[in-house]
C-alpha cells in the first residue's frame, strides 16, 4: 500500500487500483469504484481532499442519498419542459439511454459518488460500445439529471464536465434544389408524392404530415393548419399528440403545393376528420412505410444519402432566399427559438454571396455590352 498526503492507494489482484481515505469524522471511506491506474486513483483522492478543505464534501453514506437509478426514475416521471410533461417519444428515448448506457455502469452509484473522473471513464466506455449519436444523447441526459440533483442540493456541482460532449455535431446536410425535390417525388408511389411536396413547400416534419386531416387544408385561403403530430411509441404503436412546443402554426402555401392538394382532395372523402394521407388500401400510413419508399426513391433519383427531413430543410432555405426574415422563417418552421432557424438564414446568405460573385464575373467579361 502506498501512503500519500491524503488517503492511500493500492493495487488490487485484478490490476486495478483502489483509493481509500478518512472522512472528517475519522471513519474510513473507500472510493465508489476502482481505477485503471495509480494516477486516476490519486486524482480522485486529490478531488476529495480539495472538497474537504473547501467545506464542500458531502458524506456519501448519508442514508437519504439516492442512487442514480432511483433518482433518474423519479426525474423522468417528473420532468417538464416549459411547464409541459415530456412527450411519449422523448420519454422512450430517455428511457432507452438510461437503461442501455447509463444505469448498467452508474445506476447503483450514490449521486455523491459520481465524480468527473468516473464520468470520463463511463463516457469513454459508451463511446467504445456505440455510435456518436447514442453517446451524445446518453451524456446529455446524465448531465440534465445531475443538473437537477445540484438544484435539489443533493450534490454541490455537476460532475459532467466534458466540453462539448452533449452537443450535436452532425455533418451539414445536403441542400436539395427544387429539381431534386421534383425528381424524388416522381420516384415515390403516387399516394406519397403529395407528402413529398408538402414536406418541401409547407416544411412539415414527417410526424406532422402524417397527422394531417382533410379539415386542416383551406384551399380558399391557401393555408395548411399544423396542430398535431403522429409519434411512434415502442411496444405501443402510433399516438397522436400535440406537436413540439411552439410548433402549432398555419402555413400559407405557394401554388405548386395548392395544386397538389387540389388534386389530392378531389379524389378523397370530404369529411374534415378523415386523414389526409393514407395507404392505397385505405389503411393507416405510418412512418416506416414512407421511409421504405423513400429509400428506393432516392436511389432511383441518384440521391443516395438524402434524408426525408432534408426536404423541410430545403424548403425553409428557399423561403429565406425568397426574403423571409428570421421571425418569418421561425413561424413557417414551427421553431420556438431562433437558433434552429438561423441555419436557413446562413444558407440564404451563402447563396446571396454566390450570386454576387457571379454578378462580378459577368461584369468583368469583355463581351458584356455597355449601357
CA dist., res. 316 & res. 318, Å (int): 5
Indicate if 44 belongs to the active site: no
What residues have CB less than 8 Å from 123, skipping those under 6 apart? 135, 139, 162, 165
Of residues 61, 157, 291, 309, which has the active-site annotation? Answer: 309
Closest CA to 285 of 215, 183, 190: 190
CA dist., res. 104 & res. 217, Å (int): 48
Closest CA to 314 of 339, 276, 343: 343
Distinct helix (H) and strand (E) counts, the chain = 14, 11
Give buried/exposed letters for 156-185 (b at 16+ CB in 10 A, else e). Answer: eebbbeeeebbeeeeeeeeebeeebbbbbb
Indicate if 197 belongs to the active site: no
Contact 209, 224 (CB under 8 A): no
Of residues 123, 197, 203, 205, which has the active-site annotation? Answer: 205
DSSP-derived letter for residue 162 is: -
Of residues 203, 312, 313, 332, which has the active-site annotation? Answer: 312
Tallying the residues shown for the chain, one arrives at: 371
Indicate if 309 belongs to the active site: yes
Q: Between β-strands 223-226 and 8-11, what pairing exists: parallel, antiparallel or unpaired?
A: unpaired
Give the catalytic positions in this structure: 205, 309, 312, 335, 344
Amino acid at each position: 500500500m502506498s501512503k500519500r498526503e491524503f488517503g492511500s492507494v493500492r493495487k488490487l489482484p485484478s490490476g486495478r487500483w483502489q483509493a481509500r481515505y478518512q472522512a472528517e469524522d475519522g471513519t474510513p471511506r473507500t472510493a465508489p469504484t476502482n481505477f485503471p491506474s495509480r494516477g486516476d486513483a490519486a486524482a480522485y483522492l486529490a478531488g476529495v481532499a480539495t472538497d474537504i478543505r473547501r467545506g464542500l464534501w458531502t458524506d456519501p453514506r448519508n442514508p437519504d442519498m439516492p442512487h442514480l437509478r432511483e433518482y433518474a426514475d423519479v426525474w423522468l416521471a417528473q420532468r417538464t419542459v416549459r411547464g409541459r410533461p415530456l412527450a411519449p417519444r422523448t420519454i422512450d428515448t430517455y428511457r432507452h439511454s438510461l437503461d442501455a448506457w447509463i444505469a448498467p455502469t452508474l445506476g447503483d452509484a450514490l449521486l455523491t459518488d459520481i465524480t468527473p473522473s468516473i464520468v470520463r471513464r463511463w463516457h469513454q466506455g459508451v463511446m467504445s460500445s456505440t455510435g456518436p449519436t447514442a453517446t451524445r444523447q446518453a451524456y446529455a441526459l446524465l448531465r440534465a439529471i445531475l443538473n437537477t440533483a445540484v438544484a435539489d442540493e443533493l450534490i454541490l456541482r455537476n460532475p459532467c464536465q466534458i466540453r462539448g460532449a452533449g452537443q450535436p455535431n452532425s455533418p451539414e446536410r445536403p441542400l436539395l434544389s427544387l429539381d431534386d425535390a421534383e425528381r424524388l417525388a416522381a420516384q415515390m408511389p403516387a399516394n406519397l408524392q403529395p407528402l413529398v411536396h408538402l414536406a418541401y413547400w409547407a416544411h412539415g416534419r414527417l410526424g406532422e404530415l402524417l397527422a394531417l386531416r382533410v379539415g386542416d387544408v383551406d384551399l380558399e385561403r391557401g393555408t395548411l393548419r399544423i396542430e398535431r403530430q403522429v409519434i411512434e411509441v415502442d411496444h405501443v404503436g402510433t399516438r397522436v399528440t400535440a406537436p413540439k412546443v411552439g410548433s402549432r402554426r398555419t402555413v400559407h402555401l405557394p401554388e405548386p403545393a395548392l395544386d397538389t392538394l387540389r388534386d389530392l382532395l378531389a379524389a378523397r372523402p370530404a369529411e374534415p376528420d378523415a386523414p389526409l394521407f393514407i395507404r392505397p388500401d385505405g389503411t393507416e400510413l405510418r412512418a416506416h412505410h414512407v421511409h421504405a419508399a423513400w429509400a428506393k426513391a432516392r436511389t432511383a433519383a441518384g440521391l443516395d444519402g438524402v434524408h426525408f427531413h432534408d426536404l423541410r430543410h430545403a424548403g425553409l432555405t428557399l423561403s429565406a432566399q425568397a426574403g423571409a426574415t428570421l421571425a418569418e422563417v421561425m413561424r413557417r418552421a414551427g421553431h420556438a427559438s431562433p437558433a434552429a432557424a438561423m441555419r436557413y438564414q446562413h444558407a440564404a446568405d451563402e447563396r446571396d454571396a454566390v450570386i454576387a460573385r457571379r454578378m462580378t464575373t459577368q461584369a468583368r467579361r469583355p463581351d458584356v455590352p455597355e449601357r
